[in-house]
A and B are shown apart, each in its own frame.
Chain A
Amino acid sequence: MTKIASLPDEMGFYGDFGGAYVPELLRPNVEELALAFKEKKNDPVFHSTYISMLEDYVGRPTPLYLSEKLSTKHDCTIYLKREDLNHTGAHKINNAIGQILLAKSMGKTQIVAETGAGQHGVATATACALMDMECIVFMGEIDIERQAPNVQRMEFLGAKVVPATSGSKTLKDATNEAIRYWINHPDAYYLIGSVVGPHPYPEIVAHFQSIISKEIQEQLKKKTGKSSPSKVIACVGGGSNAAGAFFHFYDEENVELIAVEAAGHGLKSGKSAATSILGTPGVLHGSMTLLMQDEFGQVTEPHSISAGLDYPGIGPLHAYSIDSGRTKSIPVTDQEALIAAQELTKSEGIIPALESAHALAALNSVELEPSDIVVVNLSGRGDKDLSTYLK
């Protein structure tokens, strides 16, 4: 297998997955972006601005917390990477800050984004307020209803939240609308929220989230003397927190990488979002990846109790890594996630996001040895999910 750190190729492919499947109308946009990213990626001044904003504004590094309760329960060593302690409450801000700096360097003044649960929308609206950018966020009409507090936060931050009323009115359609807006307003900067979309987005988002695994390495070294854990567990919607948590471990073969998929009502229920388990190769939102689709190649609407995980695709990086056996994906149902959320809240006093609760629940189905050092990426906090938890 090709070393993942050396991917994607020039056209944005991770093996068979990725690429830029975009209409000619968007070609100049993605080319301009790829060029700008290539230039800034290794620019030390850009990098130090990004890092100092993460430190001083976002609150990084986030703690690597040894959970004694979980460690005792599972009879091994379990750390939680506390992305929930970031400003705005999730890992999404790492990417929003990185991309807004990129947008600024390109001379952009208007930002457009899609959001599902509203976490990426809030992170983007926050970054836009900070950097004096105009902000437009597309959000499915149904998600606007079920994630009302985040809509209010975005609006208070000065963003314009536009309901996506086409198709199934959720994240997939919000993404369609954001792409259409970008076609109609090529001067806008499209700030995508996960490791999905046409090249170079998956690479950009993975790059800006890779700070998570970089910190894990450093923190673990301090705490245990070893810089690599035996297992890293993260939930996957599009896959940005997982890409970040896995990134620096991809080429360390002794680190097991576990992507947790939302199985909704169960894998066989027809109501799930377990894309990497049930999906087949196809093209959506500008890249070749694994997709939930029907026999005619129409994209189907996934289900998860978590609005951040019900996306019918998965980042091409994950499609490749799972397909080639490097990353293992395991399913967790709505019910299992709810139980895990309650358990962490009661035992550790940490209310996790529903998305992150999927990663926690996976501890019950992964085989663990007493010598294991496991890092669970706690991608976000659960304030937004309280009404679901209290039901």
Chain B
Amino acid sequence: MNQFKKASKQLSIFVTAGYPKLNSLNDQLNLLEANGVDFVEVGIPFSDPMADGPTIQETSDLALKNGMNLELLFEQLNERTSTLPLVLMGYLNPVLSYGIDRFLESCNRVGVRSVILPDMSLEIYERFYRDQFEKYEVFPSFLITPTSSTQRIQRISKVCKNSFVYLVSSNATTGGKSTFNADQAKTYQSIRENCGETPLFIGFGIDSKEKVEYVQEVSHGAIIGSAYLKALGLNKEKDFLKSIR
């Protein structure tokens, strides 16, 4: 059963574990669940997040200063009461340092079914890590871009059949400005077709109700990261959640 497939028009939020406080995560999960969010991406902070813009960099730095690490993250996840599906998202190095088997075993134990590690390319996954992922029944999700080839999208969506495909709205680091126009509708339509049965979500630069609704029309749902974290930093996360509904 693919837990990301249940509904159309989904909404997902990305939060950095350990931000703004070391123990914020479980309150965050409860809040997001109460506000009708469908699943949450939990960011594993890293010292050198090369695909991230300033907002996620800053939350990641602060989370590390607060003392967040994978050991603690799995403890917190183990104690959570929220029943929302979760995806762990982060860079490969902290995961390798923790131990890939131990990491996947921990994911399995706390009920995390999917993981996104942007610097673990599909090729690297297939060469080194696929067997372990399969053994622990953790399903990786991979990114695609609006310029990814048909072949590439089909190949990735096959690998992601138990999770989802993450379409980044444009070639940019996280938190940039995304713009959507009529021309793109066709692109999204064709990407969605190429994904077949695999759910497709769109993220990067989504920061308003209009964009959420647009994205929910052309895919299975929207993923919001930087815009939510910005609001969270200002203690305005509840207002933000209201504003996009």
Residues of A within 8 A of B (CB): 11, 19-25, 27-28, 166-167, 172-173, 176, 179-180, 183-184, 186, 281-286, 291, 293, 295-299
Contact = CB atoms under 8 A, between A and B. Distances in A.
Interface stretch (B137-145, B194-202, B235-243): B137-145
Contacts of A28: 147
A296 B70 contact: yes
B48 A299 contact: yes
A284 B93 contact: yes
Given A23-B119, A183-B172, A296-B71, 17 more contacts: A20-B123, A21-B92, A21-B119, A21-B121, A25-B51, A28-B147, A166-B57, A166-B61, A179-B50, A180-B53, A184-B171, A282-B97, A285-B48, A293-B93, A295-B97, A296-B69, A298-B46
Contacts of B123: 11, 20
> Which 5 A-B pairs have CB atoms at the shortest separation, nearest pair first?
A297-B97, A297-B94, A23-B118, A24-B143, A296-B69
Contacts of B48: 167, 172-173, 176, 284-285, 299
A291 B93 contact: yes
Given A11-B127, A184-B176, A299 B121 contact: no
B121 A27 contact: yes
A369 to B, nearest CB: 42
Contacts of B98: 296-297
Interface string B43-63: 000111111111001000100
Contacts of A298: 46-47, 64, 93-94
B171 A285 contact: no
A281 B57 CA distance: 23
14 contacts: A21-B92, A24-B118, A24-B168, A25-B171, A28-B147, A166-B54, A173-B48, A282-B96, A283-B92, A283-B93, A295-B97, A296-B71, A297-B98, A298-B93
B94 A20 contact: no
A272 to B, nearest CB: 18
Chain A interface main SS type: mixed
Contacts of A291: 93
A186 B171 contact: yes
A25 B93 contact: no
Contacts of A179: 50
B124 interface: yes
A131 to B, nearest CB: 25
Contacts of B52: 180
Contact of B97 (A20, A167, A180, A293): A293
Contacts of B64: 298
A151 to B, nearest CB: 23
A176 to B, nearest CB: 5
Most-contacted residue by chain B among A20, A173, A183, A184 (CB, 10 A): A183
Contacts of B127: 11
Nearest to A299: B47
Nearest to B142: A24
A47 to B, nearest CB: 30
A302 to B, nearest CB: 13
B96 A283 contact: yes
A184 B121 contact: no
A17 to B, nearest CB: 13
Contacts of A283: 91-93, 96, 119
A232 B91 CA distance: 37
Contacts of A183: 50-51, 171-173
Contacts of A293: 93, 97
Contacts of A281: 96
Contacts of A282: 93, 96-97
Contacts of B110: none
Contact of B124 (A21, A186, A285, A296): A21
B43 to A, nearest CB: 14
Nearest to A23: B118
Contacts of A11: 123, 127
Contact of B50 (A20, A180, A186): A180
B70 to A, nearest CB: 7
B148 interface: yes
B120 interface: yes
Given A184-B171, A283-B92, A295-B97, A24 B144 contact: yes
Nearest to A185: B171
A73 B162 CA distance: 68
B95 interface: yes
A121 B54 CA distance: 24
